[in-house]
Amino acid sequence: MPDVAEKMVNQDAEEMVTMTYVEAITDAIRVEMQRDESVFVMGEDVGVYGGIFGATRGLYAEFGAERVRDTAISEAIIAGAATGAAVTGLRPVAEIMFIDFTTIAMDQIVNQAAKMRYMFGGKAMVPMVIRTPTGTGRGAAAQHSQSLEAWHCHVPGLKVVMPSTPYDAKGLLISAIRDNNPVIFIEHKILYATKGEVPRGEYTIPLSQAEVKREGNDVSIIATSLMVQRSLAAAELLEKEGISAGVVDPRTLYPLDKETLLRSVQKTNRAIVVHEACKTGGFGGEVATLIMEEAFDYLDAPVMRCAGLDVPIPFSPPLEKAVIPDENQIVSVVKSLF
């Protein structure tokens, strides 16, 4: 259930409607564009076409070309222009079509957007969001299927968000747009079609709050993005074998809600971290180290990681499926702790 801090900010928000994840993204942008004229959308094919995954569909017709801007095919330009617009008082919501292509914009993201507020002593705010799809499942091969969230988490000054449900996607995106810092908002391609109950109208989820998606007594599974859904499925399988697994979704990777993660581990005394990205250098290593440093005395077994293989993502669908965790792999890692 949402924390009380996840406040409903108008009466319309109390009505729940079924939306897909991508519809929740669109609705969040629409809500903020209606509320605040400084919010605008920019990116490749976000206008008339409505975005390659449909996340900006209908916004061009509603708000026009001034506030829904198609850009050149240059991620460096998108990130740089968004940074400049944010510093001068606007609130851009920029789309970079695949997270792989944030690599092309790293100077603008890492050396400009992430640093400006600090370097100007807090006098310059950079209220911008970069939305970007991540992950496998579309047969898009090695240059369009990576999970690079750990790169962005490594940069002080950036906030990094990875919602796993339509409810979280809308509430977190509204919070991200209202935040006065640059936010990397990472959406999984496979989650776009998933459905869930979402409040109509405005509501926010703090960019610092994890959620326990399932309570458990024997092991904590800390998972991100698509792996939250697979971890919940794994928990169902484990329940049949007498193992009670809790599933915790950080939702925001930076700033990380350490307290919720540690509280779960202190309860269960065992933990695994599940993510789609390659194991080496992945965000799971950060979480595992946090648990070892701050909850070591509670552990009855080592903290384990269940992550993608350290290989480029294959084009072949069977091979693509084989390189990232599934429910059975999560179950196997959990059982190794007992």
The residues carrying an active-site annotation are 144
Smallest CA-to-CA distance from 109 within 138, 81, 146, 137 is with: 81
The amino acid occupying position 240 is K
- Cα-based distances in Å from 315 to 88, 142, 145, 231, 286: 42, 7, 9, 25, 29
Q: Residue with structure tokens 């007594």?
A: 217
Point out which residues pair with 203 in neighbouring strands.
8
First to last CA, the chain: 30
**CA distance linking residue 172 with residue 204, whole number of Å:** 6
Helix residue spans in the chain (DSSP H): 21-35, 59-63, 75-87, 106, 116-119, 149-153, 166-178, 226-240, 258-268, 283-294, 317-322, 327-335
Provide φ and ψ at 214, rounded to 5°: -155, 130
Q: Which is it for strands 211-214 and 271-278: parallel, antiparallel or unpaired?
A: unpaired
**CA distance linking residue 209 with residue 252, whole number of Å:** 7
Q: DSSP state, 314?
A: P
Smallest CA-to-CA distance from 274 within 330, 315, 319, 312 is with: 330
